[in-house]
């Protein structure tokens, strides 16, 4: 098999390059899965509480759409139900990122040319990429099987294999998409769109049927995972579906790869305009970021519609469960379960918007390290004006997406439009503090700028996991989101909001002052 | 003559590396000035200081009569810069990038833009990620040459161009000079510098080691002489300024400090000269001399 010569070397090389990426994604996924039995035990400790839950899920279409149907009241089955779709999606994202990174990314950057000129077989690169994804999924499956074996060995095995199956299905799908486009970014976007479609199909199918038997559910690999029914009289033959799909997609990917030249693609890049209208640094910043802003806007609006639609059902589901009510109230608000749910959902969107603001501010860092900023700053563009373009997109953009989330709630829930909009917008001071901190890191210590991601993830964990774990007050206080008034329901407190706003301004200002004084790093 | 660029005693360190160690540079207005030096000698660091992208630790730098750090934006209105390694935005076309830079610099000569795109054979509709290295450089070159500026700073601008495009580039630089613009050309291609530059500065380890017109520099260095004589030569080795003397029968090859050439010729003609070739030092030899001293030091 000379077409595979060098696969081993390339695989080791890929795994070395991914020594942070793969373990991080797999660890987050495994943690989410393996901590779930305990969380559920706290929420639904008794048999009767679990039976209630089962009944409520069976009768509530919006919850089935969001999470899927539940097939048994054992802790194992509830775990697979609660995390299944999301763990599967996370495994899919990990896999498609790994595969695109080691195939189309390499070709687009020109590195593949150098590798392909070595003693490397024609199929070695694609094989190594798929094997790297295989390693990630195998480790995840092993962790899940070992970690959930206490809930039932057969169920753990089925769930682990099912997750790995979803992962490899999207790995091979990404391998096909990577043959089609010339741009890695577009390949990732297309693969993620397929994943989104899989989610929507399953959600539509599950809202129509309470046992996963809808044809729409069967069209989605995420639906296959739930229909494997781990911990609930497993249907092992569903694994054959995964195996067959992975095999067919891999064959198609190899076939396509064999029919094209290195660096070329089946969907050619369209030429751009011969003349441009961009004339200012601000217009350029908007042009570079508008795609991301559009994506986040759509996502936040849809999230608002979905959560808004769920709001009425929440009282039915959680109403009878004292523990769940308590957690919602700790996460969100004091008065009334509906308000508590709305407050915790808008708070969660606020936390996610912190990721947007970090990504958007760090565009400055990306432009600088890629040396694209250098000739721009050698033109009559001051550093502050250059930074202002991207920061406007970052800060105004976060306001835009929170506003759209609020409008989404208005569409999905239809009442209390004003208070809910307020609840969305009150997140902004905390989001902007994270943005300001990112500007500070970038301006004063550009090498440390990516650490802003660490800050955002820490804030996310404090916000999501902190209340559920009953974390001490001072930990919750570390996050700017911990100081926001709990809206809707709670009273508006201007004090902390104004302090956070001032803090954001000071942080960003100090960062910009640093940027003005320091050397450009290239 | 006014100076376009004056630099005196420039120092810049990155951690423990002394990138610039008292560098001097003078560029007259209206000249094409060659800026030479081996890799890592501090050319790009100097240029980044001149562009206000780096702040010098000490020393003075003026570009078009202003402080490049403090008055960066004002200075940049009158200069165009082409980096050695051009990176473009992946999803912007070459034409969009050219127009962006043109507008940022206060307008573009559209006729000149079209002419340059034609001469450089550039396809302006391709997206940034699909250009080769040479084509990315062409994008930056067209943007620079089509701008109405007083000073062009070009940092190894032709490293990815083929010989035909290199020729086009040289014509463009000459046209810029004819319009009275100043060009600072950092380059590794010595024939290009020899062809284009009025004066050159050679730097080594962050310091200027030679500066002046090519004729001046040649005068300071050695001429190679090869002669066929009627009889055996004598006394040559005792003459001042003679180096690398190689006598094979009646054939003589030697290097002589250019200001001592006269004495050598007189000595040779005493033995009767049958044929004589004398070549002034090429820039390459000038350059190599500094490299080799560098290596020996």
Contact A219, A227 (CB under 8 A): no
> What per-residue confidence (pLDDT) applies to B293?
59
| pLDDT value at B297 more than 50 | no
Maximal C-alpha separation, chain B: 73
Facing A275 at nearest CB: one of B79, B85, B95 = B95
User: Mean pLDDT over all residues of chain B?
Assistant: 89
> What per-residue confidence (pLDDT) applies to A196?
87
**A506 contact partners, CB below 8 Å, separation of at least 6:** A436
**Nearest-neighbour CA in chain B from A401: distance (Å):** 24
> What per-residue confidence (pLDDT) applies to B221?
72
Interface of B with A (CB under 8 A): 48, 51-55, 72-74, 76-77, 79, 81-83, 85-93, 95-101, 103-106, 123-127, 129-130, 140, 153
CB pairs under 8 A between A and B: 116
Judged by CB atoms closer than 8 Å, whether chains meet at A276 and B99 is answered as: yes
Judged by CB atoms closer than 8 Å, whether chains meet at B96 and A276 is answered as: yes
Residue B86 CB coordination number (10 Å): 25
What is the 3-state secondary structure of A142-191? Answer: HHHHHHHHHHCHHHHHHHHHHHHHHHHHHHHHHHHHHHHECCHHHHHHHH
Q: Which of A469-473, B103-107, B142-146 comes out lowest in average pLDDT?
A: A469-473
| pLDDT value at A220 more than 90 | yes
DSSP A390-407: HHHHHHHHHHHHHHHHHH
Which residues of chain A does B76 touch, with a Cβ-Cβ cutoff of 8 Å? 378-381
More confident position, A428 or B271: A428
ipTM of the complex: 0.82
> What per-residue confidence (pLDDT) applies to A95?
96
Q: Which residues pair with B8 in a beta bridge?
A: B60
Q: What is the pLDDT of residues B228-251, one digit of tens each?
A: 988 888 888 888 888 888 888 889
Q: How far is CA B32 from CA B7, B133, B172, B185, in A?
A: 16, 25, 12, 7
Rounded Cα distance, A368 and A374, in Å: 7
User: Mean pLDDT over all residues of chain A?
Assistant: 89
More confident position, A322 or B110: B110
**Nearest-neighbour CA in chain A from B196: distance (Å):** 24
Rounded Cα distance, B66 and B69, in Å: 9
Cis link prior to A488 (omega < 30° from 0)?
Answer: yes
Q: What is the pLDDT of residues A341-353, one digit of tens each?
A: 888 889 989 999 9
Judged by CB atoms closer than 8 Å, whether chains meet at A379 and B105 is answered as: yes
Q: What percent of chain B has pLDDT over 90?
A: 55
Q: Which residues pair with B13 in a beta bridge?
A: B18
Which residues of chain B does A447 touch, with a Cβ-Cβ cutoff of 8 Å? none
Average pLDDT (A31-50) is 86
> What per-residue confidence (pLDDT) applies to B144?
94
Q: Looking at chain A, which residue has its C-alpha nearest residue B52? A: A378
Between A124-148 and A21-34, two packed helices, what is the crossing angle to 10 degrees?
A: 30
Interface of A with B (CB under 8 A): 108, 182-183, 185, 269, 271-281, 284, 287-288, 370-372, 374-383, 517-520, 522
> What per-residue confidence (pLDDT) applies to B296?
44
CA A363-A292-A465 angle, 5° bins: 85
Mutate which: A275, A382, A517, A518, vs B, most B CBs within 10 A: A275
If pLDDT is split at 50, 70 and 90, which confidence band does A334 have? very low
Contact B252, B230 (CB under 8 A): no
> What per-residue confidence (pLDDT) applies to A510?
97
Which residues of chain B does A109 touch, with a Cβ-Cβ cutoff of 8 Å? none
Cα R_g (chain A), whole angstroms: 24
Facing B99 at nearest CB: one of A278, A287, A383 = A278
Mutate which: B68, B99, B152, B153, vs A, most A CBs within 10 A: B99
Contact B142, A416 (CB under 8 A): no
Which residues of chain B does A186 touch, with a Cβ-Cβ cutoff of 8 Å? none
Residue B70 CB coordination number (10 Å): 11
Contact B31, B198 (CB under 8 A): yes
Average pLDDT (B80-94) is 91
| pLDDT value at B217 more than 80 | no
Judged by CB atoms closer than 8 Å, whether chains meet at B99 and A272 is answered as: no
Q: What is the pLDDT of residues A58-82, one digit of tens each?
A: 887 777 888 889 899 899 999 999 8
Facing B81 at nearest CB: one of A276, A279, A375 = A375
Q: Looking at chain A, which residue has its C-alpha nearest residue B73? A: A380
If pLDDT is split at 50, 70 and 90, which confidence band does B83 have? very high
Judged by CB atoms closer than 8 Å, whether chains meet at B53 and A279 is answered as: no
Strands in B71-206 per DSSP E: 79-82, 151-155, 182-186, 199-204
N- to C-terminal Cα separation, chain A: 44
Average pLDDT (B244-267) is 87
Judged by CB atoms closer than 8 Å, whether chains meet at B95 and A272 is answered as: yes
Rounded Cα distance, A272 and B213, in Å: 45
* Residue labelled with tokens 């969380």: A39
Q: What is the pLDDT of residues A106-120, one digit of tens each?
A: 888 778 878 878 888
Facing A379 at nearest CB: one of B87, B90, B101 = B101
Judged by CB atoms closer than 8 Å, whether chains meet at A279 and B100 is answered as: yes
DSSP summary character for residue A445: -
Which residues of chain B does A284 touch, with a Cβ-Cβ cutoff of 8 Å? 89, 100
If pLDDT is split at 50, 70 and 90, which confidence band does A172 have? very high
Total residue count of chain B as it appears in this document: 297
Mutate which: B130, B131, B135, B151, vs A, most A CBs within 10 A: B130
Q: Looking at chain A, which residue has its C-alpha nearest residue B136? A: A372
Judged by CB atoms closer than 8 Å, whether chains meet at A381 and B55 is answered as: no
> What per-residue confidence (pLDDT) applies to A319?
59
Judged by CB atoms closer than 8 Å, whether chains meet at A371 and B83 is answered as: yes
Q: Looking at chain A, which residue has its C-alpha nearest residue B57? A: A519
Closest by CA position to A487, among listed A414, A417, A413, A423 = A423
Facing A288 at nearest CB: one of B89, B101, B106 = B89
Q: Which of A212-216, A312-316, B158-162, B221-225 comes out lowest in average pLDDT?
A: A312-316
Task: State the pTM of this model.
Answer: 0.80
């Amino acid at each position: 098999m000379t077409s595979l010569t060098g696969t081993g070397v390339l695989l080791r090389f890929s795994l070395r390059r991914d020594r942070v990426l793969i373990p991080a994604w797999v660890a987050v996924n495994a943690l989410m899965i393996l901590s779930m039995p305990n969380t559920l035990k706290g929420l639904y400790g008794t048999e009767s509480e679990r039976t209630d839950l089962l009944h409520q899920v069976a009768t509530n279409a919006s919850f089935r759409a969001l999470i899927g149907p539940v097939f048994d009241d054992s802790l194992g089955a509830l775990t697979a139900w609660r995390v299944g779709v999301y763990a599967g999606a996370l495994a899919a994202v990990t896999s498609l990122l790994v595969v695109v990174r080691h195939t189309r990314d390499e070709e687009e950057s020109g590195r593949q040319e150098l590798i392909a000129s070595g003693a490397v077989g024609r199929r070695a690169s694609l094989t190594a990429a798929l094997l790297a994804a295989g390693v990630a999924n195998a480790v995840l499956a092993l962790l899940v099987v070992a970690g959930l074996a206490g809930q039932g060995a057969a169920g753990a095995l089925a769930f682990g294999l099912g997750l790995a199956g979803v992962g490899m299905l999207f790995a091979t799908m990404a391998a096909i998409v990577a043959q089609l486009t010339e741009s890695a970014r577009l390949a990732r976007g297309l693969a993620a769109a397929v994943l989104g479609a899989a989610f929507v199909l399953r959600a539509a199918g599950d809202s129509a049927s309470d046992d996963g038997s809808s044809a729409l559910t069967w069209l989605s690999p995420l639906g296959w995972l739930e229909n494997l029914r781990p911990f609930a009289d497993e249907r092992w033959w569903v694994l054959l579906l995964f195996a067959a799909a992975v095999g067919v997609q891999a064959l198609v990917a190899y076939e396509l790869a064999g029919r094209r030249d290195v660096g070329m693609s089946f969907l050619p890049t369209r030429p751009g305009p011969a003349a441009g209208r961009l004339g200012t640094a601000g217009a350029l910043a908007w042009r570079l970021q508008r795609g991301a802003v559009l994506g986040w806007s759509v996502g936040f609006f849809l999230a608002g519609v979905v959560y808004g639609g769920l709001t009425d059902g929440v009282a039915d589901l959680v109403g009878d469960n004292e523990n769940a009510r308590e957690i919602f109230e700790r996460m969100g608000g004091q008065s009334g379960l509906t308000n508590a749910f709305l407050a915790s959902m808008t708070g969660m969107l606020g936390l996610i918007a912190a990721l947007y603001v970090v990504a958007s501010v760090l565009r400055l860092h990306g432009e600088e390290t890629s040396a694209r900023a250098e000739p721009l700053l050698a033109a009559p563009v001051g550093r502050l004006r250059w930074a202002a373009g991207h920061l406007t997109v970052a800060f105004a953009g976060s306001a835009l997406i929170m506003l759209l989330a609020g409008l989404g709630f208005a569409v999905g829930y239809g009442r209390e439009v004003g208070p809910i909009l307020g609840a969305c917008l009150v997140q902004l001071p905390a989001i902007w503090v994270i943005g300001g901190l990112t500007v500070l890191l970038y301006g004063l210590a550009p090498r440390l700028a990516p650490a802003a991601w660490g800050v955002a993830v820490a804030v996310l964990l404090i916000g999501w996991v902190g209340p559920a774990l009953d974390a001490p007050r001072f930990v919750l206080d570390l996050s700017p989101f911990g100081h926001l008034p709990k809206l809707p329901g709670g009273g508006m407190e201007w004090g902390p909001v104004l302090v956070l706003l001032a803090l954001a301004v000071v942080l960003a200002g100090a960062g910009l002052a640093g940027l003005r004084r320091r050397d450009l790093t290239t | 003559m006014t100076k376009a660029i004056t630099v005196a005693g420039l120092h810049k360190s990155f951690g423990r590396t002394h990138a610039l160690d008292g560098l001097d540079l003078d560029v007259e207005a209206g000249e094409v000035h060659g800026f030479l030096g081996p890799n890592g000698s501090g050319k790009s660091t100097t240029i980044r200081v001149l562009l206000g992208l780096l702040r010098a630790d000490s020393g003075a730098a003026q570009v078009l009569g202003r402080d490049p750090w403090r008055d960066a934006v004002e200075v940049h209105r009158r200069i165009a810069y082409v980096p050695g390694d051009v990176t473009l935005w992946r999803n912007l076309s070459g034409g969009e990038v050219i127009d962006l830079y043109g507008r940022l610099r206060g307008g573009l000569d559209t006729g000149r833009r079209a002419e340059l795109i034609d001469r450089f054979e550039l396809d302006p509709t391709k997206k940034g990620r699909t250009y080769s290295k040479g084509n990315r450089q062409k994008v930056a070159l067209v943007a620079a040459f089509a701008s109405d500026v007083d000073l062009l700073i070009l940092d190894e601008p032709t490293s990815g161009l083929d010989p035909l495009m290199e020729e086009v580039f040289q014509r463009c630089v000459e046209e810029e000079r004819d319009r009275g613009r100043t060009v600072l050309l950092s380059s590794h291609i010595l024939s290009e510098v020899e062809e284009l530059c009025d004066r050159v500065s050679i730097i080594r380890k962050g310091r200027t080691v030679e500066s002046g017109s090519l004729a001046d520099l040649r005068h300071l260095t050695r001429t190679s002489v090869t002669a066929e004589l009627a009889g055996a030569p004598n006394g040559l080795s005792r003459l001042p300024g003679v180096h690398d003397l190689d006598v094979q029968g009646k054939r003589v090859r030697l290097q002589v400090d250019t200001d001592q050439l006269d004495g050598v010729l007189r000595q040779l003609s005493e033995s009767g000269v049958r044929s004589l070739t004398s070549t002034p030092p090429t820039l390459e030899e000038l350059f190599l001399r500094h490299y080799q001293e560098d290596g020996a030091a």
